[in-house]
């Protein structure tokens, strides 16, 4: 296999950055996220990023088109999708799995989002296999092997001294060829796998939740949640967005797409003032029904990859694994009232 000593990592990134924009996990003091690597910037690989890799393909804010209104005429100029060649370096298997779900959303069922598609088509993905999962990881419960990189162009791992690279696609082979002068043929040992302490059982849950929309479980389950929306912003599969206008002078302006959250009351507020999810109860219920029932019904996948970010960052310790466990225990026939489970 192709390998490099850890001291050569910056040289590898420098070589790739000559022909690509290298997006890598970088911590600049606030929250680690995928940012454009430049010489001198330190890579963070010892733990997962705070902001998931979805931000590379579905940016937090993205300009869509410009407009000009003059009397009765409206002129729209769409922004060209970014065609830059990307190397997405260091993406973990959980975030990699989340891209399958974003692909379902942005590239199937009769609609193709050109902005998302351009970035997916132009990206070479180098996935970093986990050596030491964090305490809130439960990816294996969602069918993810954290030491496999399904869907990546290159699988990469680290034994403490050297990085090993395994090309999994032609694009991956070509990218490794670009650093041939820096690599050597040597096996790198995959770190010993550790058992994840957190486990979630979602078997049959989507079917059960289909009959639980009005169940009294939701009357108390939401009470701890403060509706800050942090869980949705840090979730690699959440994809709520809003379209905003930015007006300039003389009838001109531009539209942007930006992340939004179904946990915010304004998200479903209609122009006439009606809101189908007026309280935290409805918004909390919607978050879990969407992830565990509605997305599986539509796409055949649970909209959670077990990365554990929402557990570790929630300010009031709302725990999706505990919620799943409680939902599994709920008596579905108790529609009149119940004692809180768990």
Q: How many residues does the chain have?
A: 342
User: What's the pLDDT at 342?
Assistant: 46
CA 53 to chain centre: 6
Q: How many CB atoms neighbour CB 73 within 10 A?
A: 8
Cβ–Cβ under 8 Å, residues 238 and 297: no
pTM: 0.92
**Core vs surface per residue 19-49: b (16+ CB within 10 A) or e:** ebbbbbbbbeeeebbbbebeeebebbbeebb
Q: Where are the beta strands (DSSP E) in 72-119?
A: 73-78, 86-91
**Separation between Cα atoms, residue 12 and residue 228, nearest integer Å:** 40
Residue by residue, pLDDT tens for the chain (342 residues) are: 999 999 999 999 999 999 999 999 999 887 899 999 999 999 999 999 999 999 999 999 999 999 999 888 999 998 877 778 999 999 999 999 999 999 999 999 999 999 999 999 999 999 999 998 999 999 999 999 999 999 999 999 999 999 999 999 999 999 999 999 999 999 999 999 999 999 999 999 999 999 999 999 999 999 999 999 999 999 999 999 999 999 888 889 999 999 999 999 999 999 999 999 999 999 999 999 999 999 999 999 999 999 999 999 999 999 999 999 999 999 988 766 555 444
Give the N- to C-terminal CA distance of the chain in Å, as an integer. 49
User: What's the pLDDT at 249?
Assistant: 83
User: What's the pLDDT at 335?
Assistant: 66
């Amino acid at each position: 296999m192709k390998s490099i000593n850890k001291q050569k990592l910056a040289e590898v990134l420098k070589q790739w950055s000559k022909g690509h924009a290298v997006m890598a996990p970088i911590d600049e003091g606030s929250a680690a996220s995928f940012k454009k690597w430049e010489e001198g910037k330190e890579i963070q690989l010892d733990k997962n990023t705070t902001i998931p890799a979805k931000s590379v393909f579905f940016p937090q804010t993205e300009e869509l088109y410009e407009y000009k209104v003059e009397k009765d005429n409206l002129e729209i100029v769409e922004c060209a999708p970014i065609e830059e060649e990307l190397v997405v370096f260091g993406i973990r298997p959980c975030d990699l799995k989340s891209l399958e779900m974003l692909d379902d959303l942005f590239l199937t069922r009769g609609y193709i989002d050109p902005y998302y598609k351009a970035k997916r088509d132009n990206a070479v993905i180098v996935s970093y296999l986990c050596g030491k999962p964090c305490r809130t990881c439960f990816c294996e419960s969602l069918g993810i092997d954290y030491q496999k990189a399904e869907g990546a162009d290159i699988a990469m791992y680290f034994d403490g001294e050297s990085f090993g690279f395994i090309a999994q696609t032609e694009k991956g082979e070509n990218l490794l060829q670009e650093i041939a002068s820096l690599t050597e043929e040597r096996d790198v040992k995959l770190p010993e796998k550790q058992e994840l302490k957190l486990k979630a059982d979602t078997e049959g849950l989507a079917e059960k939740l289909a009959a639980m929309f009005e169940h009294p479980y939701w009357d108390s389950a939401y009470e701890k949640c403060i509706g800050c929306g942090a869980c949705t912003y840090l979730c690699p599969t959440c994809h709520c967005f809003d379209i905003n206008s930015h007006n300039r002078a003389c009838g001109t302006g531009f539209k942007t797409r930006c992340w939004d959250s179904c946990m915010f009351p304004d998200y479903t507020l209609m122009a006439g003032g009606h809101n189908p999810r007026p309280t935290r109860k409805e918004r909390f219920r919607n978050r879990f029904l969407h992830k565990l029932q509605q997305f599986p019904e539509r796409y055949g996948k649970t909209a959670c990859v077990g990365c554990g970010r929402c557990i570790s960052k929630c300010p009031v310790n709302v725990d999706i694994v505990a919620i799943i466990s409680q939902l599994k225990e709920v008596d579905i026939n108790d529609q009149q009232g119940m004692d809180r489970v768990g």
